[in-house]
Amino acid sequence: MKFCRLAIALMLLGPAAIAQEFDKNVSTARSSYASGNLHDSRFAMEQMLRDLDMAIGKEILKLLPVKLGNLNYNEKEDDVTGSGTYIGLYVNRNFGTEAKRGAIEIINNSPLITSLNAILSMPVIGGMVRDENQKIIRVQGYKSILNKAADSETGKTDYDLQIPMNNTLVTVRLKDSNEAEITSAANTIPLAKIVQLAQ
């Protein structure tokens, strides 16, 4: 019964964004539950959650910038998936060309959240794990981990910025970049709106 209430509540959250497939899964979940077929009821609800993750992911894509620094986004490479289960939502947007690339990746319920939060909340652990290529910074008020990877052969430096927000991880990547450039790019992302949708 708890699952049926959850399904109904989720259905009411965004009827315009949820396709007919969602309504079909609600009907299947109800009828399967009423007939005692809990396995099929669970499967239909997992499908509903996957559909919701997809709808939320598409809304998040609309919030993402079309430029990361001076790199334009590659519309054909936008990726949204939803598992409806453990990981949940995954959103990815790529920027630039082979010469210089960037990306924004959003994962809900990321397995990395716990370890990142431990590094950020306990300076002793963070001090033991970090090296000169890792730094804790703030982006829009969120504690974040900035990772630097220098290639001695090419002389280029790549940056990853991991921003854990509750149960959502936003990662910004820039190849052949510098700290100021990735920090500036990350500040163009509406993090508060993203975390509100992803929750």
Residue of 160 and 36 predicted with greater confidence: 160
Is residue 16 scored above 90 in pLDDT? no
Residue of 199 and 128 predicted with greater confidence: 199
Q: Which fold has domain 65-198?
A: Protein Transport Mog1p; Chain A (3.40.1000)
Average pLDDT, the chain: 81
The pTM of this model reads 0.76
Of the pLDDT bands very low, low, confident and very high (cuts 50, 70, 90), residue 191 is very high
| Percent of the chain at pLDDT exceeding 70 | 79
CB 95 within 8 A of CB 67: yes
In this prediction, residue 60 carries a pLDDT of 92
Is residue 173 scored above 90 in pLDDT? yes
| Residue 143 DSSP code | E
Condensed to tens digits (0 to 9), the pLDDT of residues 51-97 reads 888 888 899 999 999 999 899 999 999 988 865 455 678 899 999 98
Beta strands in 20-156 (DSSP E): 67-68, 71-72, 79-82, 89-96, 101-108, 134-139, 142-150
CATH 3.40.1000 range(s) for the chain read: 65-198
| Percent of the chain at pLDDT exceeding 90 | 38
* C-alpha distance across the termini of the chain, in Å: 23
Read off the amino acid at residue 176.
D
Condensed to tens digits (0 to 9), the pLDDT of residues 109-141 reads 767 776 776 777 775 554 554 568 889 999 999
In this prediction, residue 62 carries a pLDDT of 94
